[in-house]
Structure 1
């Protein structure tokens, strides 16, 4: 594909400063881009590369308006770059409609004629698949599960019985949805399994990364809210209720029956104990351990997690602790000399 900077700016809703007739052939990171390619800058750390990049044009934020380069000025450069990627690299992989001869489908399945089901995929009884959904090789869909339209289920995904998945959901390889929740009761010195008879509900426009585990509810449902994005290697326990448009980063663990509001961000390796109520617009920093409820718009850091600014002050003091110890010892020595 090739496109002029003028046409691209129009499609992206960007302001063009520079040569409107430049032709662009691809995209690349600002440090690696070559002539004819488009780059972007959104992180201040990389602004210094603007003049040295070989890119023919650069998407930049409004604070940058002067450069020898042709600029596409946009209030959200990263978003604009993502839209440019879709223009230059439309989905190239095409899947034929229909069920592969080597796939297995159970009784009473409802499969739209536009659905693709790859080789060695298994659909148990009473499964429903909406239009234009793609089930790739080796995926397993348990009985009585329902998957909406325009979904993409990558190879070797396991969707256990009774799961409900909305429209435009993407699930990456190795993920299991609807595995048993970790429920046991102690009796006479032994752990006895509690049957996990609930389901998982994944709402519209969710994307789930590779090798995640989302457990079915003990009773009722585990729910992932609309528009939520989940990174690789995330554990979500039974009866968790997650709001809309949450961002869950790799290696997060959410214990059973915890409720998340809308627009919650859990950074890498954050951990939440069970039965918490986490408000809307909460941010939990990386490696934080949350053991209490959090109100709307709270920002927490540390383990145990505290208010982010408070925790940063604590860490600043801890960094100076060796100096404090040294000074205290000097004072103790002086006091001893005075005795």
Structure 2
């Protein structure tokens, strides 16, 4: 795909400085870009590359004052990073939208309804009584069980598996290897020391505008639904257990694990390798630092916690400062004992 600098500026609501008819056909880092590429500059430490880059055009801040002549055409915008992200999104959407039609072999069950302008990749399987919206992209080797519902403009990448009765909203992205609706970890201990499986008969409900990273697993509810709220973004390799409820616009980084029946609020930030016990509540706008272990309810919105067990972030930093000094404190204590 090839665009003029002016076309890109119009898309980003920016202003062109230089030749607005220059054409670009690829995106690149400012330090690596060559002719025909579009780059961006948002971090001041990369400004020297602006004067040496081979890029045909660069997205820059409208407030940037040039220190030297620039050979590339400039597209001035309010926020270069956000504008470049918007451009990447348009580019990715255009690539995905180019996938249309049905590749064979593929299977679609009885009484399943599928909307217009869809794509079904080879070896995909869609069960019975499913309802799939318009502009849905289902890549090769995707499995959709019976009674699955998929909203408009949702993309399901290769190898994802959605168990029966899963509901996914509109404008969602489900990356490769995601599992939605597998059994929750429900086993009842018996008197003889064995464990009896507790049937998991609920489902998973994914609201609109959710992104789920590769190889993430979200378990179905024992009864009712495991729910992921609107706009929430989940990284790769995240485990979300049965009956968990996650609010709107929460972000969860890789290798986090959330135990059963925990409720997480809106606009929370959960960093990598966080572990959260079951049956607790996390308040809105809570931030949980990397590798934290959360063992109790967080009641106050806007709380920032860190550590295992997790507690107030600033107090944790102070505690870690003392912890690092423990060997020296012990040495001093032993010296004092020797002086007695």
- Provide the TM-score with structure 1 as the length reference: 0.87
Identify unmatched segments of 5+ residues in structure 2: none
In structure 2, relative to structure 1, the CA distance for the partners of 1:133 and 1:256 (3 Å cut) is: same
Q: Does 1:323 align with 2:324?
A: no
Number of residue pairs the alignment of both structures matches:
332
Q: In 2, are the aligned partners of 1:24 and 1:38 still within 8 Å (CA)? A: no
Deviations 1:272-319 (A, max 9, x none): 111121111111111111111222111111111111111112222223
Deviates more, 1:85-94 or 1:212-221: 85-94
Q: In 1, are the aligned partners of 2:116 and 2:133 still within 8 Å (CA)? A: no
Q: In 1, are the aligned partners of 2:4 and 2:20 still within 8 Å (CA)? A: no
C-alpha separation in 2, matches of 1:96 and 1:237: 35
Match of 1:279 among 283, 292, 297: 283
Other-structure match for 1:134: 137
- Provide the TM-score with structure 2 as the length reference: 0.87
Deviations 1:25-57 (A, max 9, x none): 233223323355433344566567555655465
C-alpha separation in 1, matches of 2:104 and 2:27: 39
1:9 Cα offset (Å): 4.1
Aligned Cα root-mean-square deviation (Å)? 2.7
Identify unmatched segments of 5+ residues in structure 1: none
- SS at structure 2 position matched to 1:320: helix
1:247 Cα offset (Å): 1.1
1:323 Cα offset (Å): 3.5
1:183 Cα offset (Å): 0.6
1:130 Cα offset (Å): 1.1
1:320 Cα offset (Å): 3.0
Q: In 1, are the aligned partners of 2:222 and 2:243 still within 8 Å (CA)? A: yes
C-alpha separation in 2, matches of 1:7 and 1:270: 43
1:143 Cα offset (Å): 1.0
Other-structure match for 1:23: 22
In structure 2, relative to structure 1, the CA distance for the partners of 1:53 and 1:243 (3 Å cut) is: same
Deviates more, 1:317-326 or 1:172-181: 317-326
1:162 Cα offset (Å): 0.7
C-alpha separation in 2, matches of 1:46 and 1:291: 43
Other-structure match for 1:34: 34
Deviates more, 1:207-216 or 1:60-69: 60-69
C-alpha separation in 2, matches of 1:84 and 1:63: 20
